[in-house]
Structure 1
Amino acid sequence: MNLKETIKQLPDSAGVYQYFDINGHLLYIGKAKSLSKRVRSYFSFEPILKAKQNLSLRIKKMIDQTASLNYIVVNSEHDALILENSLIKQLNPKYNILLRDDKTYPYIYVDNSLDFPRFEITRKVIKSSNIKYYGPYSTGAKDILDSVYEICKLVQKKSCLKSKKLCLYYQIDKCLGPCELDVSPAAYKKELDSATELILNKKTLIKKLQERMYFYAEELRFEEAGELKNRIETIGRTEIKSEIDFASDENYDIFVLQNTTNRAVVLRIFMRNGKIISSSHDYIQLNEGYDEDEIYQRVLMEFYKDEKPPIIAPILVAHKFLHVEVIEEHLTKVFGQKAQIKVPLRGDKKHLVDLAIINAKELLKKEITENNTKILYDMKELFSLQRVPNRVEIFDNSHMSGVATVGAMAVYENGKFDKKSYRTYHLRAKDEYSQMRETLTRRVESFSKNSPPDLWVLDGGSTLLKLAIEIVESNGIYLDIIAISKEKIDAKAHRAKGKANDILYTKDDIYRLKNSDVRLQWVQNLRDEAHRCAITFHKKTKLKLDKESKLLTLKGISQAKIVKLLKFFGTFEILKELSIEDISSVLNQKDAEIIKNIYN
């Protein structure tokens, strides 16, 4: 069935539609209250099927490339919204705008039902009576809490009250000692109120920390002064300066967007009790144009996810966007109460949104360094990538004679390595090909939680490149992939004067760049970081295996049998879960019983 016939047969039902190009690559995922009406709105049918003239340049370009479509019928527009969001995160279509902000923001909370309440951090709603939340904090929550416990004489640890004995915290005047002493509720509440004031008022907290920092500096305690300096910077980092101070105790979550030709920024500001308490922002790469409606929908879906936040506040945005009612319906279900998305037109709330817009414009001026930006566009042009490679995942494996086999994924984003996003894998596969298959397959399986990058880089040649392409395409994902391998002469990697003559492979071409070419050096740098990560994790794993081997050797299991076990099962951790029968399939019954006794 051709595209025109498929469109004419679409049902008048809610659902999700997917556009594909002539090569079967996914172009776009959309949702609709009526699949028939929505998809037809893109096309003009006479005299031939083509994009309607009133479409934006971005959408017209997409429709011109569309050769086929698939669709999924669901029960409601709300269900279509959920499915659309999930599929976009997993499949990363060319014309959809992908947001990678998968963070959840922490809150500080206190349970006032306790005899001696203390502050803690949470990212979820706590099931307990008389809970009071403060936040969310995009950064600095732990620093705020640590500072409060240093300044106020509260119960410092959960375990303190259980001991029934005065501890070091009492001796150094950081706790009133209710574990043993008769501390009145009024005296403890005074400390609790002081701590609450510090949490609510960053300026007061920072002032007290600065006083301590200066004291430490005068006492030549420079290390402690330096720690406080760093803490002060972290606490104040996301604070937006504002004279806006609502007379009432109003709460608002503010979201605004601003964009240039190639880049957009989403800025979030959180107002609690009439004061701005924190903010956060993320940059969005615009590969195929700007769609404010889509970004607003995705931003709100991603921020609130599917968990009720500890504090539910009205949402303020700069402009009304398409399908705002569907987003409100979804958030109402998530919150368990009516969600409100408003566009303020006057008064303090309008000033608040205007302040957010000013700050978003300033953030857009802070471009990535020119050199890093240039190399990314150079790579896109050289390799004909579908996207500027702002986020790259790099893979390598490591082992020693089939023992301590591991895989590693390094991540490069916005001009630097993002070590918090690195991942390592214990592998069971024996050969290099199967090891890379296992590593890449496990990464693809996690796309629903952590969206695909713009580019994969593999340490390997054309064989591993074909493997990676097969894995992503079999899962319906079109992802740019580059493989890098050393030039081989007589089956050995060739180096000239210490410099590797590396070869780059893409789906369609082979590149032999000079080793002085900065584009080759950029890929080599990524490959070397993944290799370092894999080797480091391998050494750590091998050290742990050696310790386990010594334990088994002491119990009479020979080294040869240990190697045999590891080659068959992969890790010692698996032995803890196996039965005697499983182990005896590799070793004899007596050895299997010894090993099982060790790990019981």
Structure 2
Amino acid sequence: MVDLLESIKSLPNKSGVYQYHDKDGRLLYVGKAKNLKNRVKSYFRFTPYLSPAPNLSQRIIHMLNATTSLRYIVLENEHDALILENSLIKQLKPKYNILLRDDKTYPYLCVNLNEEFPRIYLTRKVLKDKNLKYYGPYTTGARALLDSIYESFLLIQKESCLKGKKACLFYQIKKCLAPCEGKVTKEDYSKILSNALECIDNPKKILKILEEKMNLYSQAMRYEEAMIYRDRIQKIQGINKLSMVEIPSLEDLDVFAFLSLGNKGALVKFFIRNGKIVSSTTNTIKSQYEINELEIYTQALINYYSLSLPFVPKKILVPFDFGDSLAWLEDFLQNRFHKKIQIINPKSGDKKRLCTLALSNAQEALRISNKDDEITKDIQELFSLQNRPYRIEVFDTSHHKGEQCVGAMVVYDDRFIKEDYRHYLLHFKDEYSQMREMLSRRIESFSENPPPDLWVLDGGVGQINIALELLKKAGVNLEVVSISKEKLDSKAYRAKGRANDILRSKDGEYKLVSSDRRLMFIQKLRDEAHRFAITFHQKQKQKTMQQSKLLEIKGIGKATQKRLLDYFGDFESVHKASLKELEIALGEQKALAVYEALSSS
């Protein structure tokens, strides 16, 4: 503790971010401070020896007992410290910080009122343009709502339609009035658009239309079509189950409410526009330590209001007293949006009612999510993991003789989270370089999509070492295990009808009997990653075969194709190549023939 004590004594009286590390150099905790010296000193008691202060939570006491070194970054003000702290927590996942996985960019429905014949479209990109009108944000059902509107109203169906200046198939099948040929006036089109936008404001209107169509198909015994409308109705109904709640006296507001029970919590957000809750979202948080409400609220506000937003409320409601942190957060909002935005903890009235409603929804979310996740505890004990692996990312690669090399990542968090799956097109031929390439790209995305609690790799010691090397270089606190098939005479037992898989961590091998539920759980994760990788590989192979066939038709043979792919990497780059680039790959005479063949399409 001598070095730690000296570090504390040398801290400046300035704003900044501090980091606690353990004896192995692993990052334990990141915090912000208006005054670094005062904040860090508040963690400790200095007599008769350096020890944690007695008024701290068990989580922080555990962290301080493991701390052997302190690092810090001096910043100009509290605002900069708040932003950097949040960024480091998301990217590096310190062991004792609670990470809120939240606020991917939500989709909006948008219409450009400056166009002569506007159309409605779905977007996640928010532009600063007074002629753009946004609806949302939508946490679910936006695509179903948009598809239903285009099916029910004769709007321009595609962005490219007006460019053609000629009535297309949509006009022939009576899905469009062909404004491109002047078959509808601007005024009449505007009335149709206005009716469509009313359905966005009040989805009940479009639901009535869909229900009529569903019943017609059902009566005609066309059950498959009826099921399509049934599913669409359910998705639109799910956009906001609280849309019946109307509070006309309120201005546009955002509500954030968090509730915790033991080591689980639920964060609910309401978005209120024109006195209605237009959408809501719920996020569950799990930790092996007690959950600090201030940390969750702070992360939630910074994460959400760092996004590009078309709507910024004048007030944010929270059923929580931020104390001294309120000024920090309001300063962050002031700097972000260049206007005063109040964060209010209402004590009575309609605003209090909204916060109570949000807390009730959080309570219900906790009740529903109270699942038995003992398997994660078993996995933690088996591999002696620092943290409970609530969220797991699993990686696998696939190729055929070094061709169509792809990677896959699947995500497990109580269930397989398919919307978070990722494919990777890989350039390297050998499995170790492929794993390095895939994991490097995943680490690069940590600032947008934070690390999980555990990585599971399809492979052995080599893959684990690659992952640990990359994570150490990035400074990320993330543990890694692997699963591989046991081999006999260089052949996997699985090929002989047996399933002797070996589990590994940095500490060694784990050979479990085939009926062990921990092995079966990891196998389930690996098999899903393998399925996802193989499916993508097959699609790439089919695509490659089609492109190869097209080149053969143009007179470019297999040998020339191979030389081109070896040089350019993929068919898309071959098609984009200039004559000079082709000459480097093939020589002058051959390149000219290939260039002319590619240009003939």
Question: TM-score, normalized by length of structure 2?
Answer: 0.91
Map 1:312-461; keep pairs closer than 5 Å. Answer: 312-321=313-322, 323-367=325-369, 369-370=371-372, 373-415=373-415, 417-461=416-460
1:465 aligns to what?
464
SS, match of residue 448 in structure 2: coil
Q: Is the Cα contact below 8 Å between 2:565 and 2:574 reproduced in 1?
A: no
* Contact residue 455 and residue 480 of structure 2 kept, 8 A: yes
Paired with 1:517 and 1:452, the residues of 2 have a C-alpha distance of 28
The one-letter amino acid paired with 1:347 is G
How far residue 551 of structure 1 moved from its aligned partner, in angstroms, is 5.2
Any unmatched runs of 5+ in structure 1?
Answer: none
What does residue range 7-406 of structure 1 map to in structure 2 within 5 Å? 7-161=8-162, 175=176, 178-180=179-181, 183=184, 187-241=188-242, 244-248=245-249, 250-321=251-322, 323-367=325-369, 369-370=371-372, 373-406=373-406
Partner of 1:499, secondary structure, is coil
Shift of 1:112: 3.3
Shift of 1:285: 1.3
- CA change 1:228–1:25 in 2 (3 A) is same
Q: Secondary structure at the match of 1:500?
A: coil
Q: Is 1:254–1:269's contact at 8 Å kept on the other side of the alignment?
A: yes
- Range moving further from structure 2, 465-474 or 341-350: 465-474
State the Cα distance separating 1:178 from its structure 2 match.
4.5
On the 8 A contact 1:309/1:335 being kept in 2, the answer is no
- 1:387 shift after superposition: 2.4
Say which is worse superposed, 353-362 or 147-156, in terms of deviation. Answer: 147-156
Name the CA shift for 1:192/1:356 in 2 (closer, same or farther; >3 Å): same
Closer/same/farther in 2, CA of residues 554 and 229 from structure 1, 3 Å limit = closer
Distance 2:236 2:99 in 1: 30
Instruction: Give the AA of the match of 1:389.
Output: P
Tell me how many residue pairs correspond in the alignment: 597
Contact 1:425/1:439 (8 A) holds in 2: yes
Query: Is 142-151 or 8-17 further displaced after alignment?
Result: 142-151
Name the SS for the 1:485 alignment partner. strand
RMSD: 2.8
Contact map agreement 2:142 2:239 (CA 8 A) in 1: no
**CA distance in 1: counterparts of 2:203 and 2:564, whole angstroms:** 57
The whole-number CA distance in structure 2 between the counterparts of 1:445 and 1:408 is 16
Q: Find the aligned partners of 2:552 and 2:125 in 1 and give their Cα distance.
A: 46
> Are the structure 2 counterparts of residues 280 and 9 from structure 1 closer, same or farther at C-alpha, using a change threshold of 3 Å?
same
Query: How much has 1:51 moved relative to structure 2?
Result: 0.7
Cα drift, residue 210 of structure 1 = 1.9
Partner deviation per Cα, 1:371-413 (whole Å, 9 max, x = no partner): xx22222212222222222221111222222222222222222
Q: Percent identity?
A: 50
Alpha-carbon distance in 1 for matches of 2:176, 2:432: 59
- State the Cα distance separating 1:577 from its structure 2 match: 6.5
Distance 1:178 1:151 in 2: 17
Shift of 1:331: 2.2
Spell out, residue by residue over 1:91-145, the C-alpha distance to the aligned partner (whole angstroms, 9 max, x if none).
1111111122242122223333444443333334344444433222211222222
Q: Shift in Å at residue 153 of structure 1?
A: 4.2
**1:543 to 2:542 alignment:** yes
In the TM superposition, what is the alpha-carbon distance from 1:69 to its structure 2 partner? Answer: 1.3
CA deviation after TM superposition for structure 1 residue 547, in Å: 3.9
Kindly tell me: are residues 244 and 46 of structure 1, through their superposed partners in 2, closer, same or farther at Cα, counting changes over 3 Å? Answer: same
What is the DSSP-based 3-state SS (H/G/I as helix, E as strand, rest coil) of the residue aligned with 1:2? helix
* Cα contact 1:124–1:309 (8 A) shared by 2: no
1:197-237 C-alpha deviation (Å, 9 max, x unpaired): 32222333323322332233223332332112111111111
User: How far apart, CA to CA, are the structure 2 residues paired with 1:100 and 1:596?
Assistant: 49
Unmatched segments (≥5 aa) in structure 2: none
The alpha-carbon deviation at position 290 of structure 1 amounts to 0.5
* Conserved? CA contact 1:17–1:29, under 8 Å: yes
- Distance in 2 separating the partners of 1:129 and 1:300: 25
Moved more, 246-255 or 492-501: 492-501
Change (3 A) 1:571 1:150: closer
- State the distance in 1 between where 2:113 and 2:580 align: 54
